[in-house]
Amino acid sequence: NESLMKKVMISFILFFILVVSSCYVAASKPVHVIITAGQSNTDGRTSNKDLPDYIKALAKDTVEYSEGAYPYCRIAQNDPDGKFIPFWPRAARSERNNLWAYDAVTYYWLEQLLKDKFYVIKWAVGGTSIAPNYDSAKGRYWSANPEWLSQTESTSKGGRSLLLSFIQEIDICIDQTLSKLEEGYQIDAFLWHQGESDQRKGKDYYDNLKAVVTYVRTHLSQKTGKDYSKLPFIFGTVARSNKSYSSEVEAGMRRLAEEDSNAYLIDMSDAELLNDRLHFNKKSAEHLGREMYKRLAEIMF
| One-character DSSP codes across 207-270 | HHHHHHHHHHHHHHHHHHSS--TT--EEEEPPPTTSTT--HHHHHHHHHHHHH-TTEEEE--TT
Structure confidence at residue 4 (pLDDT): 61
pLDDT, tens digit (0-9, with 9 covering 90-100), for 189-231: 999 999 999 999 999 999 999 999 999 999 999 999 999 999 9
Taking the CA atoms of 242, 247, 249 and 253 in sequence, report the sign of the dihedral they define: positive
CA distance 294 to 273: 22
Question: What does each C-alpha distance from 93 to 44, 148, 201 come to in angstroms?
Answer: 9, 27, 26
pLDDT classification of 138: cutoffs 50, 70, 90:
confident
CA distance 230 to 120: 19
Residue range 157-171: mean pLDDT, rounded = 97
Altogether, the residues listed in the chain come to a count of: 301
The percent of residues in the chain predicted with pLDDT above 90, rounded, is 86
CA distance 207 to 85: 35
Structure confidence at residue 93 (pLDDT): 77
pLDDT, tens digit (0-9, with 9 covering 90-100), for 60-96: 999 999 999 999 999 999 999 999 999 999 998 766 7
pLDDT, tens digit (0-9, with 9 covering 90-100), for 143-155: 999 999 999 999 9
pLDDT, tens digit (0-9, with 9 covering 90-100), for 223-249: 999 999 999 999 999 999 999 999 999
Torsion angles phi and psi, residue 143, rounded to 5: -50, 140
State the chain's mean pLDDT as an integer: 92
In the chain, the amino acid numbered 19 is V
Query: 24 pLDDT exceeds 50?
Result: no
pLDDT classification of 6: cutoffs 50, 70, 90:
low
Query: 97 pLDDT exceeds 90?
Result: no
CA distance 138 to 105: 28
Query: 21 pLDDT exceeds 50?
Result: no
Q: Are 72 and 115 in contact (CB under 8 A)?
A: yes
Lowest mean pLDDT segment, chosen from 17-31, 181-195, 213-227: 17-31
